[in-house]
Amino acid sequence: MSTIDQRDTDDRTDRVDGREPLLEVTDLQKHFPVHSGLFASVRFDRDSDGFPVRFDESSVKAVDGVSFSIEPGETLGVVGESGCGKSTLARTIVGLEEPTAGEVRFDGERTDEIEESEFRKRTQMVFQDPQSSLNGRRKIGHIIEDPLEGAGWEKSRRQERSLELLEQVGLKREYYNRYPHEFSGGQRQRINLARSLSINPDLVIADEPVSGLDVSVQAQILNLMDDLQEEYGLTYLLISHDLSVVRYIADRVAVMYLGEFVELSPTEELFTDQHHPYTSSLLRSVPNPDPDQPGVQSVLGGTVPSASDPPRGCRFHTRCPDFILPDGFSRDGYEAYDQLLADVRERTIDADADEPNAVVDAYFGDSDGIPSAARGDAERAAERALEGEWATARETLEAHESICQSAAPALESTAPDRVAACHLEIDERGETREP
């Protein structure tokens, strides 16, 4: 994590006045179809009752059922590794992407039913790379005025407002006639903020607003955002891969993994005590030193699974340090059992073997961490598999699967104002978590 210090959050928390949510997102989904061509999309469907071929309708599940709300004046941070769906979430909320399913309400009304211009005026986005989002051939005064022109303001009023905004974001009025390339990264982000505030929005969605800036400049921009929030009564949705950034400014933090929220908590509680193993792992991650690979180097083992084929059950189970072993299994024993199940699913166990015992021995060896009931079921499953009854074999083995694989945990309350999606009971988690 970078080294921004934590500021006193009390004043921010006090601003949240408990009114109706400004933004309410319910079961939002954004799936991108995978265009793999006609032939590449043909799949054999071995379990089909009829014709054993189907067309693969796989899609990248970038956002896969996200719900949350933000109170007026509040800042909600969204964190997670690269590719977990943060940007797609932001883009879908503002309507840059059509949702696959779900609903977004702004100030009580569905955004697909509010007049577009009204919603656009009240919600603004700020992006990471202000260099490319500012047109280099235009004077910054004019860039700041653009939204005002769209809103029908006449020239002299626009100019006056633009000069005022320059001052408010800590730049000089004389800069009005300068061009973006004359400014540093931090100054360009100030220009971007001025532009987004010109028509007095209620909600600002900031996607990695300080990524790529030096840490000291990051702190200045975040302080400015904090001041502007107070001045304008703004509500922020702040997206960042950097936990120290959200800690600095957010009232609450949502942690995202493979298209889903896995934990949502008031900021300080989240940093003191994590209720999801993924959150703990993120906290123990360090910034990636390779400038071409921004983001965090995870302390987690395993690779990030594909968003087009997320793991069954809990999506985090393939990398989870707190994976729940079924009763009676040792870690090695369960790995062997799970491999047999995976091969039965794929129908790749050795069909030439003629004895179920021999099949099971090949997987289990003399591993002693397998309960006898599971060993017996494994032999019965091997027998079925050798007879070609793969579905029965699979079902037999699934009886001993870990809950982390067989059931997707729902986001449930784990403490006042906190939710997490993990099968571990909170007390149990406290005991198993690494210090």
Ligand X SMILES: Nc1ncnc2c1ncn2[C@@H]1O[C@H](COP(=O)(O)OP(=O)(O)OP(=O)(O)O)[C@@H](O)[C@H]1O
* Residue placing its CB nearer to ligand X in the complex, 151 or 304: 304
Q: Smallest distance from the beta carbon of 380 to ligand X, in angstroms?
A: 40
Coil, helix or strand for 426? helix
What are the residues whose beta carbons fall under 8 Å from the beta carbon of 94, sequence distance 6 or more?
123, 125, 205
Q: Which residues bind ligand X (CB under 6 A)?
A: 32, 60, 62, 80, 82-88, 241, 307
* Residue placing its CB nearer to ligand X in the complex, 143 or 254: 254
Q: Smallest distance from the beta carbon of 284 to ligand X, in angstroms?
A: 19
* Residue placing its CB nearer to ligand X in the complex, 12 or 315: 315
Q: Smallest distance from the beta carbon of 155 to ligand X, in angstroms?
A: 38
Cα gap 78→245, rounded to integer Å: 10
| Residue 323: DSSP 8-state | P
Q: Which amino acid is at 211?
A: S
Q: Which residue has the tokens 């449930």?
A: 412
Sheet with 101-106, side-by-side order of all strands: 59-70, 23-33, 101-106, 109-110
Cα gap 18→403, rounded to integer Å: 37
Q: Phi then psi for 346, rounded to 5 degrees?
A: -85, -5
Cα gap 136→134, rounded to integer Å: 6
CA 237 to centroid of chain Cα atoms: 13
Q: How does strand 23-33 pair with strand 59-70?
A: antiparallel
* Residue placing its CB nearer to ligand X in the complex, 88 or 123: 88
* Residue placing its CB nearer to ligand X in the complex, 63 or 134: 63
Q: Smallest distance from the beta carbon of 98 to ligand X, in angstroms?
A: 11
Kindly report the length of the chain: 435
Q: Which amino acid is at 420?
A: A
